[in-house]
Amino acid sequence: MPLAREETVTQLSGVLTDLETAATVIAIIVGGIWSYLLFVRQRLRYPAANIAHEISTIGITEKHILVNVAASIENKGKVLLRLTSCFTRLQRIRPLDEDFSLIMESRGDLVEDGETEVDWPLLGVRDFCHEGGMIELEPGEKEELVADFVIGRDVRAIVAYTYVKNMTKPGREIGWSRTTIREVDLSGTKGDPPHVTETGKAESTSN
């Protein structure tokens, strides 16, 4: 009898071990399926970014102003964000270009047919990923891209535009951008104007 009991205990122990192993395998499979659903169906495998602008202006000569545009890029996704194409562009709104004044008089609108924004005169472009350079951001990490522009004191209003391309969508011009419009108020001074800072935030996800 004792031998039979020992055999029974051994058999039960083996069955329990097999059940534990099976439960572990099932848990791994379920976990894998869940991870797949999260990354594929909820598109967590794609990056997401936040862009914020901080713009400062200061007079540097009687005829020139320094415009500093600090673009803060934050990785809001769950995967590594690679920046291989990113730039900040500065354009002039006022004084209004002479050609634009004529268009306004004739059409009353500066936005071309099929477009959604005005193509303002360019003051400068700063490329942060030139010559094949790359910036990598881990999830939750931030990077500040700073650009300086020297413009004339005649400029009264500007628009800053920062663009970051989504490299997970090859062949398509998809990414994240931030546009900030601001006045350049010198209050009629000939010396250095007061230091002015304006911030803006935008969040977008590219799918």
The band of 26, judged by pLDDT with boundaries at 50, 70 and 90, is low
Which among 179, 198, 183, 207 is positioned nearest to 51, based on CA atoms? 179
Of the candidates 196, 193, 179, 206, which has an alpha carbon nearest to the alpha carbon of residue 53? 179
**Residue 54 shares a structural domain with residue 156:** yes
- Tell me: pLDDT of 201 over 50: no
Please report which confidence band the pLDDT of residue 121 belongs to, taking 50, 70 and 90 as the band edges.
Answer: very high
Please give the residue range of the domain that contains residue 63. Answer: 48-205
Whether residues 34 and 77 share a domain: the answer is no
Q: Are residues 121 and 142 in the same domain?
A: yes
Span 61-68, average pLDDT: 94
Please check whether residues 131 and 156 belong to one and the same domain. Answer: yes
Of the candidates 142, 138, 127, 133, the one whose C-alpha atom is nearest the C-alpha of residue 72 is 142
One domain, residues 31 and 59: no
Backbone angles phi, psi at 152, to 5 degrees: -75, 155
Q: Which of 21-25, 58-62, 94-98, 105-109 has the lowest mean pLDDT?
A: 21-25
Look at the chain and report how many structural domains it folds into: 2
What share of the chain in percent tops pLDDT 70? 63
| pLDDT 10s digits, 69-104 | 999 999 988 888 888 888 999 999 999 988 888 888
Same domain, 122 and 142: yes
**pLDDT, position 113:** 85
| Alpha-helical segments (H) within the chain | 2-36, 98-107
Distance CA(157)–CA(183), nearest Å, equals: 4
Q: With beta carbons less than 8 A apart as the criterion, state whether 33 and 174 touch.
A: no
Query: Are residues 177 and 138 part of one domain?
Result: yes
Residues 90 and 191 in one domain: yes
pTM for the model: 0.68
In the prediction, which pLDDT does 5 show? 57
pLDDT confidence tier of residue 155, bands split at 50, 70 and 90: very high
Do residues 149 and 175 both lie within one domain?
yes
Q: Are 66 and 150 in contact (CB under 8 A)?
A: yes
State whether 30 and 93 are in the same domain: no
Greater confidence, 4 or 72? 72
92 and 182 share a domain? yes
Q: pLDDT category, 205, cuts 50, 70, 90? A: very low
Residue-level pLDDT at 132: 59
The residue with greater pLDDT, 100 or 42, is 100
Same domain, 154 and 58: yes
CATH code for the domain of 133: 2.60.40.1470
